[in-house]
Amino acid sequence: MTTDATLASHLQELRRGTVVVASLTVLRTPGYGYSLLETLSEAGFEVEANTLYPLLRRLETQGLLTSAWNTDEARPRKFYTTTEQGNAVADALRTEWARLDDAINDLSTPTTPAKESK
C-alpha cells in the first residue's frame, strides 16, 4: 500500500467518528439530511450523502436522534433532532475528544528527560 493510500485510509477512520459528534451537535436544532450535509461541508467535514443517511438511521435506531416528516412544503423532508440521550453522548464524546487532543499535544511536546536520582 502506498503512503497516500495508507494516509487516506487513516484519515477516513479518523473522520468517521468525528461525523457522529458533529451530526449530534448540529442536530440539536432540527435539520434534514441535505442541510446537515451542507452545514458539515461548510465546517470542513467531508462526508458523502451515501455515508450520512445510513449514519442518521443508525443514530435514530440507537435512540440518539428522533425524526419527523415535514410535509408543509412542496417536497416532504425528514427532519432529525438530537434526543436527550444523544445530547449526553455528544457531550461525552466531545469531552473525550478534548482529552485525547490534550494527550496528543502532550506527546508532541518535547520534554526534558528526568534527572536521575543519585
Question: For residue range 101-116, what is the model confidence (pLDDT) as tens digits?
Answer: 999 999 988 776 655 5
The pLDDT assigned to 79 comes to 97
State the pTM of this model: 0.83
Q: How confident is residue 118, by pLDDT bands cut at 50, 70 and 90?
A: low
How many CB atoms are closer than 10 A to CB 55?
17
The span from the CA of 35 to the CA of 28, in Å, is 13
pLDDT digits (tens, 9 = 90+) for 38-59: 999 999 998 999 999 999 999 9
First vs last C-alpha separation in the chain: 49
